[in-house]
Structure 1
Amino acid sequence: MDISSLLAPGAVRVLGHLTSKKRLFQEIGEIMSIVHGLNPSIAVDGLQERESLGPTGVGHGIALPHARLQELDKIIGVFFRIEKPLDYDSVDRQPVDLVFALFAPKDSGVDHLKALALVSRTMRDAGVVTKLRANNDPAKLHAILTEARAPQAA
């Protein structure tokens, strides 16, 4: 599994300013609708349900919201770079400017966890994060993410 199998080029966006986490989730839902044909409210509801268990802001300006959805048959992602960082209730209380949302089928089991681990390792790579924050072109952001070689777990 690699990020190129999870992230379609059209699912990468740069956003200027968002007023809330709820608005972010609505934007993610819209991209899921446009790129993958999923009803946006299903994506939003899945993200909010997961977020109610605990925040998915992992620190250092990065959030990894995720959800398992009955309507999917494969694992897919959405990536946003937010120009004005958003208050996200992250573990380190820092605002978020990089968001990689991941959606998996309800019965994906360990594959969902592997995808989440891959995305997490990639987003912990300081070189990748620096490049992401330095670019505003969605095509370049997609290339950075899909060309990144996340370190393997020990």
Structure 2
Amino acid sequence: MTLEALLSPRLSLCHLAGSSKKKLLLNIAQAVAEQYPQHDSDIIFNQLIARERLGSTGIGEGVAIPHCRLPGCEHPIGVLCTTEPAIDFDAIDRQPVDLLFVLLVPEDSEQQHLDTLAEIAALFSNSQVRDKLRQADTSDALYALAIDSAAAA
């Protein structure tokens, strides 16, 4: 699945506020529910937190990829955001996170979920991509840079 199919400009969030991992995930859940009113922000938040309890989705280099299966979700939904300041996310390298890609998928799409996570992780393993995304100063710029970076990868 292409990044362009997962992500929308409205869910590319530059400098999203959040003083903790939980507050950040709550803000993301609320943003998703605003764009997709059929999904309840509390359910999204609880699913993301339940996944985080299994182990942090902070993959290192200031990046996290929170993800979960979402009841009632008909197609994968992506949220890209930067934070300012960086947030403690219990990442594997113990570095704070300032770049997140959240992936919400239908409950029954296990293989697609894994494949999409691998594609996102590969994109964010590129230091040039991370640097470009961190330089975005607006949500529109963040979206455009992400789509361009994915197309070039």
| TM superposition score category, shorter chain reference | over 0.9
1:3 aligns with: 3
Alignment of 1:24-63 (within 5 A): 24-37=24-37, 38-63=39-64
Taking a change above 3 Å as real, the CA distance of residues 47 and 147 of structure 1, as seen in their structure-2 partners, is same
TM-score, normalised to structure 1, is 0.93
1:82 aligns with: 83
Q: More helix per residue: 1 or 2?
A: 2
Whole-angstrom distance in 2 between the partners of 1:75 and 1:17:
24
Whole-angstrom distance in 2 between the partners of 1:70 and 1:34:
17
Q: Does the CA contact (< 8 Å) of 2:3 and 2:150 recur in 1?
A: no
Q: Deviations over 1:10-47 (max 9, x none)?
A: 00112364211110110111111111222101110110
Aligned-pair identity in percent equals: 35
How many equivalent residue pairs? Answer: 152
2:73 aligns with: 72
Structure 1 unaligned residues grouped into runs of 5+: none
Q: Deviations over 1:55-90 (max 9, x none)?
A: 000000000000001110101111110121111110
Aligned-pair Cα RMSD in Å: 1.5
Q: Does the CA contact (< 8 Å) of 1:15 and 1:81 recur in 2?
A: yes
TM-score, normalised to structure 2, is 0.94
1:95 aligns with: 96
